[in-house]
Amino acid sequence: MSSSPPPPDAAKPTKAFEVQAGPRHYLVARSKPMAQLLDSVRRIASVPRPVLIRGERGVGKEIVAAVLHYEGARARKSFLTVNCAALNASLLSSELFGHERGAFTGASERRAGKFEQADGGTLFLDEIGNMPMDFQEKILRVLEYQEFERVGGSQPVRVDVRVIAATNADVETMMDEGVFRRDLYDRLAFHTVCVPPLRHRREDIPLLISYFKSRFLTEVPNFEDKVFTPEAMREMIAYYWPGNVRQLKAVVESLMCMDTGHEIDPEELPREVTATGPGTQTFQERVEQYKRTLILNALRECQGNQRRAAESLGMSYDQLRHFYRKFDLGHMLRD
């Protein structure tokens, strides 16, 4: 087992906040990184420009997108989501732009796509890094002109849609490899929001556990509440959580269904949670952790001067800036 952090109340955490974003999205936190993220999001919520949300899988990028929508001037309009990784280019065209009657086999009537349905509101394009290269030009054109044609159509359709995109991909490397358009990235990245992984805001874990328990008991009322012992809570806080908030939610709900007593002990936690340490991380996760530590130490030795830190590591300033954003090192330097 890894060394345990202090109990969750020992650090005298800041006041918790819970932001409801629409009918099914809640942002629940108390950590400084999330408070700073929320402040940033609220500042740009009503700005009619694209936003790019970056972060690992499971950190809650869709929830941040929902906060951007519901805290802004378009809150009374539609907030729609499309997972770009789930559709090929032809299906994506029909899903986003709609189609005319007879455009293809089975198209028995005209259908409005997500851009038309979201007119006046917000369209969230999740996993934008998985969008086919030949389709990216179409999205770029819609972003620039707010105009498109339905599949099988010839008349332009004009809309007023704010696009929020999200990805967990290394977009910089994809651009270097020619599989993601730089002009599309520049257009999307009018403002970039980096959602920190759960391991960088461990003080949020007890609060999230409480929230997920309460939500589960509301949805499945025939189960009784369970209390994590202090030892079990320490293990939950200490775990690396590679799947972030999504993984935490799944673990909590699974524990609530277990045929155990009123308390949850460390012995009842999933094996991967109690067997923390480098051995439980994947090779890529260990490499990423080493990169983060190496760059953070260089920045600290150079008093936060990024150019000097880049020189000391033998990398370009642009390379260091990429990792600075990717690992969300700003708040770590301030702590």
Task: Give the HSE-up count for residue 93: Cα atoms under 13 Å, Cβ half-sphere.
Answer: 18
Please name the fold of domain 198-279: Helicase, Ruva Protein; domain 3 (1.10.8)
What length does the chain have? 335
Q: Is the pLDDT of residue 7 over 90?
A: no
* Per-residue pLDDT reduced to its tens digit, 61-91: 999 999 999 999 999 999 999 999 888 888 8
- At the fourth CATH level, which superfamily is domain 32-194? P-loop containing nucleotide triphosphate hydrolases (3.40.50.300)
Q: What is the pLDDT of residues 170-218, one digit of tens each?
A: 888 899 889 999 999 999 999 999 999 998 999 999 999 999 999 999 9
> Could you tell me which residues come within 8 angstroms of residue 200 by beta carbon, excluding any fewer than 6 positions away?
33, 328, 331, 332
Both tokens of 300, joined, read 């600290």
Give me the phi and psi of 123, to 5 degrees please.
-115, 120
Which of 157-171, 252-266, 316-330 is predicted least confidently?
316-330
Map out the domains of the chain as residue ranges. 32-194, 198-279, 283-334
The pTM for the full model equals 0.78
**How many whole angstroms separate alpha carbon 284 and alpha carbon 306?**
25
Question: For position 11, what pLDDT does the model report?
Answer: 37
pLDDT of residue 331: 60
